[in-house]
């Protein structure tokens, strides 16, 4: 049994609609659930209603209908536009609330996954023994997925076999690796299968550039719940992130890339939601680092700036692809939802306890110097340094990339547009740093390294153009 009340966070609109239809239009109104049981009704006393019609709610599953009845069929026909109007309003409230619900669930799930990944990353940074790293990862995943047993079987630095186990004997590992359900696993992807004795297995290959180097297997013994699709998804994400790290570890004895790989993989997942923003986070991180370098930031700060750049649009995971890639004009509601993505980013990153300057960089890139930005309307130096840097990097990349509703702007036009926003939208110092950096690094090549698809106006000497633009920016400061 399902009813509209199960899906409405606030049922005021439903009650108001019922009152309106009953009192203003003289109808008898009943709300039915999916099994036809009345869950609400309105009817004036003594009203005789032989003519009736049912209006089902539009929803992904059956959640019932509104049934309206009147004294005559004509009366019902006259009332129908009003009934349909109320129904449309209720249907769109249902849609909004389910989208919000899905967004919240997706965010909570992502936040949980991120939390887990960072916990693992923190634990293994500093361990230089490969086997110990595998053990930490195995124990953490086993704990998170509530696996009774688990093992990783893979190759070491000299291609020797490495095996780490979690509450399982070597004999049982051999038997499981030999079990029929795993012997037929050739797809190279994460799967759930059932062992001959009824145990649930969650199998994930460890891949390297040249093929598969090993496997992780988690086991829920017979009688326990089988692994779920979301546990499989978590292990698949972890596998995607740690496989390159394992390879690096194995070949080069280095753990430096784990943290960055984690963040890059997440950024790529966000960018992939919208074909027009493909590679956006990567480019914003690079542009931001260029500005940071020109400002004389330390190498640690520049590394942190890169992480903040990768994370700056993380909150877009909570926004539908249909809105992100919409070719036409956004509705007011859609625009408001997009404006919430820094808030979503904040919610996702809060539990991870990142250094404050990284968090601020990721969440303040839409704040503007004059306070017209979002989500907080911060002004001037109240916006963090990282926020002001990433704002410039973000807008430059947005302007020079193709969007569903316009072509990419040439580099010169994009830089001019940025200069138009000096002091009102962007911090002058950040723009001057960007212009200087582009000049000093032989701008065309430097830019092409970050974005191969950049277009240019027909300016022979971009360097000269940048000098003029910088002088313009300095001149407006003197006036």
End-to-end CA distance of the chain: 71
Residue range at the interface with Fe ion (CB under 5 A); choices 75-83, 309-317, 374-382, 383-391: 309-317
Least distance to Fe ion, CB of residue 348, Å: 13
In 197-330, DSSP assigns E strands to: 200-208, 211-220
Contact 3, 64 (CB under 8 A): yes
The verdict on 304 binding Fe ion (CB under 5 A) reads no
Q: Please calculate the CA angle 28-30-35 and round it to the nearest 5 degrees.
A: 150
Binding characters for Fe ion, 68-87, by CB under 5 A (x = yes):
--------------------
- Minimal distance in Å, beta carbon 291 to Fe ion? 17
Residue given tokens 């106006």 in the structure block? 457
Span from 18-26, 168-176, 236-244, 311-319 in contact with Fe ion (CB under 5 A) = 311-319
Q: Residue 353: which of 126, 115, 121 has the closest Cα?
A: 115
What is the C-alpha separation between 312 and 234, in angstroms, rounded? 22
Select the span of 122-130, 285-293, 307-315, 430-438 touching Fe ion (CB under 5 A).
307-315
**191-194 and 161-166: which strand pairing?**
unpaired
In whole angstroms, how close is the CB of 396 to Fe ion at the nearest point? 13
Q: Rounded CA gap, 411 and 463, in Å?
A: 12
| Contact stretch for Fe ion (CB under 5 A) within 167-175, 228-236, 313-321, 428-436 | 313-321
313 binds Fe ion (CB under 5 A): yes
- Please give the torsion angle defined by the CA atoms of residues 401, 102, 262 and 385, in that order, rounded to the nearest 10 degrees: 60
Give the nearer residue to Fe ion in terms of CB position, either 243 or 364. 364
The answer to whether the beta carbons of residues 143 and 218 sit under 8 Å apart is no
What's the rounded Cα separation, in Å, for the pair 315 and 325? 15
Binding mask 45-64 for Fe ion (x = CB under 5 A): --------------------
Of 183-191, 252-260, 306-314, 382-390, which part binds Fe ion (CB under 5 A)? 306-314
Pick 110 or 473: Cβ nearer Fe ion: 110
Nearest distance from C-beta of residue 316 to Fe ion, angstroms: 7
| Structural contact between residues 308 and 386, judged by C-beta atoms closer than 8 angstroms | yes
Nearer to Fe ion, 119 or 357 (CB): 357
Is-contact 149 168, C-beta < 8 A?
Answer: yes
What's the min distance (Å) between Cβ of 313 and Fe ion?
A: 5
- Per-residue x/- track, 260-299, Fe ion (CB under 5 A): ----------------------------------------
How near is the Cβ of 256 to Fe ion at its closest, in Å? 28
Instruction: Report which residue's Cβ sits closest to Fe ion.
Output: 313
How many Cβ atoms from other residues are within 10 Å of residue 170's Cβ?
10
CB of 451 to Fe ion, least distance (A): 17
Closest approach of Fe ion to the CB of residue 408, in Å: 18
Closer residue to Fe ion (CB): 306 or 313: 313
**Least Cβ distance, residue 342 to Fe ion (angstroms):** 7
Q: Which residue, 57 or 287, is less far from Fe ion as judged by CB?
A: 287
Residue indicated by tokens 């297995």: 201
Go through 173-202 and write b for each residue having 16 or more CB atoms within 10 A of its CB, e for each that does not.
beebeebebbeebeeeebbbbebeeebbbb
Choices 39-47, 177-185, 308-316, 349-357; region in contact with Fe ion by CB under 5 A: 308-316
Strands in 161-166's sheet, in edge-to-edge order, are: 161-166, 149-155, 211-220, 200-208, 191-194
Distances (CA, A) of 50 to 28, 29, 65, 68, 79: 10, 13, 18, 11, 15
Structure tokens at 107: 């965010």
Kindly indicate which of the ranges 12-20, 26-34, 305-313, 454-462 contains the residues binding Fe ion, using the contact rule CB under 5 A.
Answer: 305-313
Total site size for Fe ion, rule CB under 5 A: 1
Q: How crowded is residue 322: how many other Cβ atoms within 10 Å of its Cβ? A: 10
Shortest distance, position 96 Cβ to Fe ion, whole Å: 22
Judged by CB, which is closer to Fe ion: 113, or 277?
277
Nearer to Fe ion, 374 or 472 (CB): 374
Residues engaged in binding Fe ion (CB under 5 A): 313
């Amino acid at each position: 049994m399902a009813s509209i009340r199960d899906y409405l966070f606030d049922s005021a609109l439903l009650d108001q609609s019922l009152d309106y239809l009953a009192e203003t239009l003289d109808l008898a109104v009943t709300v039915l659930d999916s099994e036809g049981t009345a869950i609400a009704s309105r009817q004036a006393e003594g009203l005789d209603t032989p003519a009736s019609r049912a209006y089902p709610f539009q929803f992904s599953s059956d959640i019932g209908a509104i049934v309206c009845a009147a004294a005559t069929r004509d009366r019902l026909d006259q009332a129908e536009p009003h009934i349909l109007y109320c129904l449309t309003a209720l249907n769109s409230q249902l849609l909004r609330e389910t989208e919000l619900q899905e967004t919240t669930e997706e965010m909570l799930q992502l936040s949980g996954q991120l939390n887990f990944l960072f916990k693992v990353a923190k634990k293994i940074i500093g361990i230089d023994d490969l086997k110990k790293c595998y053990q930490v990862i195995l124990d953490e995943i086993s704990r998170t997925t509530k696996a009774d047993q688990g093992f990783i079987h893979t190759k070491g630095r000299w291609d020797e076999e490495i095996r780490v186990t979690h509450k399982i004997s070597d004999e049982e590992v051999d038997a499981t690796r030999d079990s029929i359900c795993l012997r037929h696993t050739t797809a190279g992807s994460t799967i759930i299968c059932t062992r001959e004795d009824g145990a649930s297995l969650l199998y994930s290959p460890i891949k390297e550039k040249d093929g598969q180097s090993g496997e992780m297997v988690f086991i829920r013994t017979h009688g326990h719940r089988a692994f779920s699709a979301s546990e499989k998804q978590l292990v698949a994400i972890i596998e995607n992130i740690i496989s390159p790290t394992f390879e690096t570890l194995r070949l080069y004895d280095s753990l430096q890339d784990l943290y960055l790989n984690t963040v890059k993989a997440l950024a790529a997942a966000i960018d992939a939601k919208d074909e027009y923003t493909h590679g956006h986070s990567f480019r914003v991180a690079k542009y931001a680092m260029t500005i940071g370098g020109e400002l004389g930031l330390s190498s640690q700060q520049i590394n942190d700036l890169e992480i903040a750049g990768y994370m700056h649009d993380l909150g877009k995971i909570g926004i539908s692809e249909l809105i992100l890639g919409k070719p036409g004009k956004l509705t007011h509601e859609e625009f408001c939802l997009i404006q919430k993505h820094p808030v979503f980013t904040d919610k996702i990153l809060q539990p991870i306890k990142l250094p404050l300057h990284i968090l601020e960089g990721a969440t303040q890139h839409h704040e503007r110097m004059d306070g017209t930005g979002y989500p907080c309307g911060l002004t001037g130096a109240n916006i963090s340094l990282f926020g002001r840097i990433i704002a410039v990097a973000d807008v430059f990349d947005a302007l020079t990339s193709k969007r569903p509703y316009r072509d990419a702007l040439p580099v010169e036009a994009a830089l001019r547009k940025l200069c138009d926003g000096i002091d009102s939208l962007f911090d002058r110092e950040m723009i001057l740093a960007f212009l200087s950096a582009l000049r000093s690094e032989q701008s065309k090549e430097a830019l092409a390294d970050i974005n191969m698809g950049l277009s240019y106006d027909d300016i022979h000497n971009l360097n000269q153009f940048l000098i003029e633009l910088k002088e313009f920016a300095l001149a407006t400061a003197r006036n």
